[in-house]
Amino acid sequence: MVPELLRRQRVAVGALVAADLVVVALVAATQPTDGVISVVAALVLAPVAIAATAALAARIGSDRFALGAAAVYVVLPLLGNRYMLPTYRGTFDTRALPSLVGTQHTLVLALGIAAAVAFLLAPKALAAAGGVLAFVVTAAIWQFAGVGQLRPGLHESVWSIAFIEWLLLAGILAALLRAPLLGLAVGGWLSAAILWGAHRGYGDAVFWRSLAVAVPAGAVLLSSLALLAPRLRPASSRDPSPSER
């Protein structure tokens, strides 16, 4: 799947890789990093992340959907900035944004990219089992108490709690409807990351930093919202007009 997608869409994928490199470099230049090694590692991981996200999305939808998911991966950390209230954006940019692009806590992002590659290469049933297992294990260890404790922090820092909850549910539903096994895989992966982040708390943007382990999953599920739109009827299948009969 990866070689085929890269061959068919090499120009578009290359442009997205270049865009992601710019985002990583911009964050590295304007926000704290863990040093030169972390910045270099983040730049090396960028092409892998774009290719893995696009190829994983291609298992759910079309090439266009795959490129859309990769584009969402590029802008998702920046969209996170816009979703924060103005009073919290400075904290998000300094504490979370570097982790989400890998210039800080690079290993967490690398684990997320590795998960994307694993779900891409694994049979769909095995990927689904992995996603469900990740969710069940995190739920069993940390339960859901931390999720309830997130609400006060979210209330003070984001535009709408309900909106992000509905985005998550709608994205998972869309993926499940299009590709049930991969929907379970990606939905379980992101849900497990949310539970892990909730367990770690909200102070100092640690919750948002934790989501670096599931940025590819977030990009795929957010892009899946487009799959809920009704498909347009192909022009070739329209009923002929009276003059055409």
3-state secondary structure of 100: helix
* DSSP state for residue 155 in the 8-state scheme: H
Share of the chain above pLDDT 70, in %: 91
pTM across the whole model: 0.89
CB 225 within 8 A of CB 69: no
* Alpha carbon separation from 165 to 80, 161, 170, 232 (Å, rounded): 14, 6, 9, 28
Question: Maximum CA pair distance of the chain?
Answer: 71
Cα(219)–Cα(73) distance, integer angstroms: 5
3-state secondary structure of 84: strand
Summarised one tens digit per residue, pLDDT across range 52-90 is 999 999 999 888 999 999 999 999 999 999 999 999 999
Model pLDDT for residues 195-216, shown as the tens digit of each residue? 999 999 999 999 999 999 999 9
